Structure 1
């Protein structure tokens, strides 16, 4: 019974970490969407700068748009992956909860 309890606690901790990771990814996703919206309002000849270390370097408009699009795509795939893990952990917790209840009633 003690092992089941430890396993349940471990799964809960994993689920909590996955939810935190999901929230962090969602924040990054929203930030990049805002950047994309800003880029969409710019003229094609607008100057865009990229912060590299302590220096602002000029960046091509098309390249900057492409980078943001790739980041959004990458973050979206990470969100999907983390959501699948969250669902799996929730299923694992549910199954383990059933096992614990059965063990307690026996």
Structure 2
């Protein structure tokens, strides 16, 4: 009687933890301003986009090798607009800072999501082991 109630309790806990893990993997929780765990894939995709943009902007910084009198134009909508070299470099540096900060933030979110998933998996594994040991105990009797 005691082992049957203990078994039922472990099974309920297992179901709750499995549901929590499933919720995490579906992305129903919100962490900071980005979605969660099944959104790990989305996080990786956005991170890849930012990494590409970071490389492009770092390449753009090589404009420093241009002469000050070089005509520099940027695309604003459908029109090219002349821009000062110093202003263009400042804009690119700010973009690089922003992208680098976003990458760091996304890395922190990703690490947090993975830690939560691993924690839930550990709890589920322990509950499953408890259930198995109760079944093994019943089988012996």
Same fold (TM over 0.5): yes
The one of the two structures with greater contact order (alpha-carbon pairs below 8 A, sep at least 6) is: 1
Q: What is the match of residue 57 of structure 1?
A: 81
What is the Cα deviation at residue 17 of structure 1?
1.6
Q: What is the match of residue 19 of structure 1?
A: 44
Alignment of 1:44-83 (within 5 A): 44-83=68-107
Contact 1:4 1:100 in 2 (8 A): no
Length-normalised TM-score, structure 2: 0.68
1-side partners of 2:39 and 2:125: how far apart? 21
- 1:104 is aligned, of 128, 132, 135, to 128
1-side partners of 2:19 and 2:109: how far apart? 23
2-side partners of 1:22 and 1:50: how far apart? 25
2-side partners of 1:104 and 1:40: how far apart? 61
Structure 2 counterpart SS, 1:47: coil
Is 1:30 aligned with 2:46? no
Structure 1 counterpart SS, 2:56: helix
Q: What is the match of residue 6 of structure 1?
A: 22
1-side partners of 2:20 and 2:76: how far apart? 49
What is the Cα deviation at residue 5 of structure 1?
4.5
Structure 2 counterpart SS, 1:46: coil
Q: Larger C-alpha radius of gyration, 1 or 2?
A: 2
- Residue segments in structure 1 that go unaligned for 5+ positions in a row: none
